[in-house]
Structure 1
C-alpha cells in the first residue's frame, strides 16, 4: 500500500491507478491498465526461452549417438588385419557419418510448439 502524500488517499492492489490520476488536477485523457500481451502468451514465450530443444530434438540426438556407436561397433567387427576389410573401411564409416548427419539435423530442427 502506498500513501499518496499530496491527496491523502491510500491505494491498494485492487484499485486501479487511474482512480488517483482522476483526482489529480491534471488528469490524463486515457489510462490503459491492460497489457497488450496476454498471460498465456507470456508463459509460451518464457517456456520457449527456457528450453532451446524440444522432445523431438532430444530423441533425435539420442538416436544419432546410437547410430554413431553402432558404426564404431561395426568397424570393430572387421576380421581383417588393422581393420582393412569391408566393415572397417566402408560400412562402418558410412554408418558413423550417417549418425553425424542425424545429429546435425537434430540440432537444427525447430522444436514443435
Structure 2
C-alpha cells in the first residue's frame, strides 16, 4: 500500500502526490529561436562580372609571375661559386622583389568596370 503523506488537513496517497507534482498536464509553449534566412545571391547577366578581378588585374598578375621567373633566371646566370656574384646576390633578388611588388599591386588594384 502506498505511503500516505499529511498535507494540511487533507491526506493524499503517493500516486496523488506524484500526479499533483507533475507538470505534464500544463501545456508548455516555447519559442524556438530561428536563424534569419539569407536571401539568394543576385545573379548578374554579365558573365565577366562574376570574376573577382578585371582583365587588367589578371594581365598584371601574369606579368608579375614572368618578372619573378626572370629574377630567378638571372640568379642562375651567375658564374661565381655558389652564386655569390652580382647577379646572384644583388640584381636577381631585386628583380624578384619587383615581381612580388607587381603581384601585390595587381591583387590590390581596383578592377576597371
Q: After TM superposition, where is structure 1 displaced by more than 6 Å over at least 4 residues in a row?
A: none
Q: Distance in 1 between matches of 2:48 and 2:66?
A: 29
Count of aligned pairs: 71
Aligned residue in 2 for 1:43: 44
The CA deviation at 1:87 is: 0.2
Q: TM-score, normalised by structure 2?
A: 0.58
Structure 1 or 2, whichever has the larger Rg, is: 2
The CA deviation at 1:104 is: 0.3
Aligned residue in 1 for 2:91: 91
What SS does the corresponding residue of 1:52 show, helix, strand or coil?
coil
Aligned residue in 2 for 1:3: none
Matched, 1:52 2:38: no
The CA deviation at 1:43 is: 3.5
Aligned residue in 1 for 2:77: 77
Aligned residue in 2 for 1:111: 111
RMSD: 1.8
Q: Which runs of 5+ in 1 are unaligned?
A: 1-41
Q: TM-score, normalised by structure 1?
A: 0.58
What SS does the corresponding residue of 1:73 show, helix, strand or coil?
helix
